[in-house]
Amino acid sequence: MAEGAPVIRDDKAGQESNVIFDWEVGDAAGTDRAFEQADVISRLKLHYPRSHPSPIECCGSIADFNRATSKLTVYMTTQAPHIIRAAVALVAELPEHMIRIISPDIGGGFGNKVPVYPGYVCSILASILLERPVKWIEDKSGNLISTGFARDIYLDGEMALRRDGKILGVRMRCDSDHGAFFSDAQPSKFKIGLLHSAFASYDIPVAHLTDRGTYSNKAPGGVAYRCSFRVTEAMFFQERMMQAAADDLGMDQAEFRRMNFVRDDQFPHRTPFGFLTDSGQYGKCLDVALKAVDYEGFRREQAEARARGRLLGLGISTMTEPLGAGNSREYDILGIKMFDSADLKVHMTGKAILRTGARTQGQGHETTWAQIVAHELGIPAEDIVVEEGDTDTAPFGMGTYASRSTPVAGAAVAMVSRKIRAKARQLAAHLLEVSEEDIEWELGRFYVRSAPDRGVTIQECAVAAYANMPDGMEPGLDATAYYDPPNLTWPFAVYIVTVEVDPQTGVWDVLTTVAVDDCGVRINPMIVEGQIMGGLTEAYAMANMQFITFDADGNCVGSNYMDYMLPTAWETPGFELHSEVVTPCPHHPIGAKGIGECAAVGGPAAFVNAVMDALSGTGVRNIDMPLLPDRVWEAITYRRDVSGAPPVRSDD
């Protein structure tokens, strides 16, 4: 912040500077002592640039206020219909039961469609005033320039090290640019989201993090673009610092990480910033990845290539992401606790309809939720209809973002299925004329323990729920469950990328990308692999080609899709995925941890670290993303770090 800079938000009472907040977490005094004891102090400054989620369809809404019924119906592209309904009730001064939010297929979200945008508000208020439907829709340039950005945060990082490689402490000083409004959709308690999830996979005694949030004359930022509230920045800073520290010590990148990992027998593990991680096999994941990439063989090839003037590099990135925010003791948005819900009704025919408070944007909820019900009840997945996104029919939920689907909504689906099964067990005992204690369960069927041939199917129990229930039992076979997670879930991953850099042009090509993801129990492996591939594609794009910023006059640079590149199948490298490591989450009903964001969170650092490894020996410690060819060429040619921090000159 420049001394004497004009106050951007001078419309806010009491706003005397451009600082929004100062926030800190960790043990400052303990960290200072760790640095006093350090043999080596590794330092790194970098900028995680702005990036945009760029969903395939823009934001839009159609508001229709019916004066005769005093009911407002809004079709809109939102990832969180119930939260939007609560916000609309406050703004429009209408009771919630007279507001219906319908979120149809919304053409992707990635966090971009969580906020309440002015267009939504204008269409709603105009419809109330005019008493007729009012539509608002963006064009692609408007979406790219003005809707919620992500990232734009600066790190001044330090790591206290023993000479043998043990990390003694970490210090992170951050500055986050929030644009013209502090509109982050973060849990209320955490001003900078879960940035302090950094270094959760490493056994570090003490750490301290500060962040200063500031206003600027840009579109509002802070959106959790495919990450669990600033976790992408946390893992990027973590892994760039890990690479720099290993280089400063002269240690092998893989072994430096291995010796500082949390061991399997240390779980549950308290991180230096206070999180509690539950389970993992970090070393095993690293071993699988190193074997897949032929680590030792590549290092020999790298040395031989360098002798011939070729620049090969290998980058490692690990991540453990806190998913499933979160337990009601600590997590809320707008004061609303971050539980989720599911409502399941089994009809007399044995067919079922499931409604949840989540909202799919292409994650495959319809498939995954039906599989969970099928697994719990034995009802064929094709006999289960899944509905989401209509506040008049779905139970209250927080929507879908921050990889909350399977960790929270999926857990609610499992719990409501078990409620149904418990009632069906009573019906089975009635039909079989035995006590409930004598009933056993196998998938889709109850039977008598002493006479396994005597049994009834779940479908027969469904008929009985409407036609032959025991005295005193309420008819029907339906239930609702609300799931308040006891803790976050913590998937882990190792990503390794190899590249070749052309020293004459700065162009770098990806040779290999290996991903080892331990996301706990995998419900549908194909959907999991699709999520990983999509996340790696976005990670590659952020590291390689996506550049959007503002010049000194406030003009948006990279404001169209000719300049802000989205990778196609032509540019996207191939990915080698591994699923050998499975560590179930001990507190999740089905052991799942979540996967939707992991590769986008951990992937960028792997690509950047690979390029920096190729440039080892040149004195270059950092090139800010995206690693455009001109930046890489400048670093090689002038043997200096290259910053991408704005503002830029329009003629650059």
pLDDT at 22 over 90: yes
Percentage of the chain beyond pLDDT 70 is 99
Mean pLDDT over 501-529 rounds to 98
Lowest mean pLDDT among 32-46, 362-376, 500-514, 553-567: 553-567
Question: Residues of 248-263 as b/e, b for ≥16 C-beta within 10 angstroms?
Answer: bbebebbebbbbbbbe
The band of 534, judged by pLDDT with boundaries at 50, 70 and 90, is: very high
Are 344 and 356 spatial neighbours (Cβ–Cβ below 8 Å)? no
For residue 624, the tally of other CB atoms under 10 A from its CB is 19
Are 405 and 531 spatial neighbours (Cβ–Cβ below 8 Å)? no
Distance of alpha carbon 323 from alpha carbon 409, whole angstroms: 12
Single out the catalytic residue among 500, 597, 598, 631.
597
pLDDT at 652 over 60: no
Collapse the DSSP code of 424 into the 3-class scheme (helix H, G, I; strand E, B; otherwise coil) and give the result: helix
Are 473 and 482 spatial neighbours (Cβ–Cβ below 8 Å)? no
φ, ψ of residue 34 in degrees (nearest 5): -60, -40
pLDDT at 457 over 90: yes
**Average pLDDT value for the chain:** 95
The answer as to CATH 1.10.3210.50 being correct for domain 60-146 is no
Distance of alpha carbon 184 from alpha carbon 7, whole angstroms: 20
Non-local (6+) Cβ contacts of 152 within 8 A are: 48, 49, 50, 176, 177, 179, 218, 221
- Is 226 known to be catalytic? yes
> pLDDT by residue (tens digit) across 284-309?
999 999 999 999 999 999 999 999 99
- In this structure, the dihedral spanned by the alpha carbons of residues 10, 16, 19 and 20, taken in order and rounded to 10 degrees, is -70
Single out the catalytic residue among 50, 58, 59, 79.
79
Choose which CATH entry (3.40.50.1100, 3.90.420.10, 3.40.50.170, 3.30.365.10) describes domain 340-483: 3.30.365.10
| Triad 65, 66, 71: Cα angle to 5° | 75
pLDDT of residue 651: 54
Q: What is the DSSP letter of 261?
A: B
pLDDT at 186 over 80: no
Distance of alpha carbon 148 from alpha carbon 145, whole angstroms: 9
The band of 147, judged by pLDDT with boundaries at 50, 70 and 90, is: confident
Mean pLDDT over 402-423 rounds to 96
| pTM exceeding 0.75 | yes
Distance of alpha carbon 176 from alpha carbon 199, whole angstroms: 19
> pLDDT by residue (tens digit) across 535-593?
999 999 999 999 998 887 778 888 899 999 999 999 999 999 999 999 999 999 999 99
The band of 189, judged by pLDDT with boundaries at 50, 70 and 90, is: confident
pLDDT of residue 648: 66
Non-local (6+) Cβ contacts of 265 within 8 A are: none
- What type of residue is 60? G
157 exposure class (CB count in 10 Å sphere: 0-12, 13-18, 19+)? buried
Are 485 and 327 spatial neighbours (Cβ–Cβ below 8 Å)? yes
The band of 146, judged by pLDDT with boundaries at 50, 70 and 90, is: confident
Single out the catalytic residue among 227, 285, 461, 556.
227
The band of 402, judged by pLDDT with boundaries at 50, 70 and 90, is: confident
Tokens at 588, concatenated: 């999740």
Alpha-helix residue ranges (DSSP H) falling in 185-268? 231-249, 253-260
pLDDT of residue 1: 73
Collapse the DSSP code of 455 into the 3-class scheme (helix H, G, I; strand E, B; otherwise coil) and give the result: strand
For residue 457, the tally of other CB atoms under 10 A from its CB is 16
Q: What is the DSSP letter of 494?
A: E
- Where are the chain's structural domains? 19-52+148-268+277-324+487-638, 60-146, 340-483
Mean pLDDT over 213-240 rounds to 91
pLDDT of residue 555: 83
What single string gives the DSSP state of each residue in 342-381? EEEEE-TTS-EEEEES---SSS-HHHHHHHHHHHHH---G
- What type of residue is 167? I
Closest CA to 110 of 583, 597, 555: 597
pLDDT at 195 over 90: yes
pLDDT at 371 over 90: yes
pLDDT higher for 91 or 569?
A: 569
- What type of residue is 224? A
- What type of residue is 597? E
Choose which CATH entry (3.40.50.11270, 3.30.365.10, 3.40.630.10, 3.40.50.720) describes domain 19-52+148-268+277-324+487-638: 3.30.365.10
Lowest mean pLDDT among 14-18, 448-452, 460-464, 556-560: 556-560
pLDDT at 509 over 70: yes
The three-state (H, E, C) secondary structure of 49-66, written as one string: EEECCCCCCCCEEEEEEE
- Is 3 known to be catalytic? no
Question: Do the two domains 60-146 and 340-483 of this chain adopt the same fold?
Answer: yes
Closest CA to 266 of 200, 324, 323, 318: 200
**Helix (H), strand (E) at residue 432:** helix 411-432
For residue 88, the tally of other CB atoms under 10 A from its CB is 23
Non-local (6+) Cβ contacts of 61 within 8 A are: 74, 75, 76, 77, 119, 120, 123, 124, 135, 136, 137
pLDDT of residue 649: 56
Are 379 and 104 spatial neighbours (Cβ–Cβ below 8 Å)? no
Tokens at 207, concatenated: 């750490």
Non-local (6+) Cβ contacts of 640 within 8 A are: 619, 620, 634
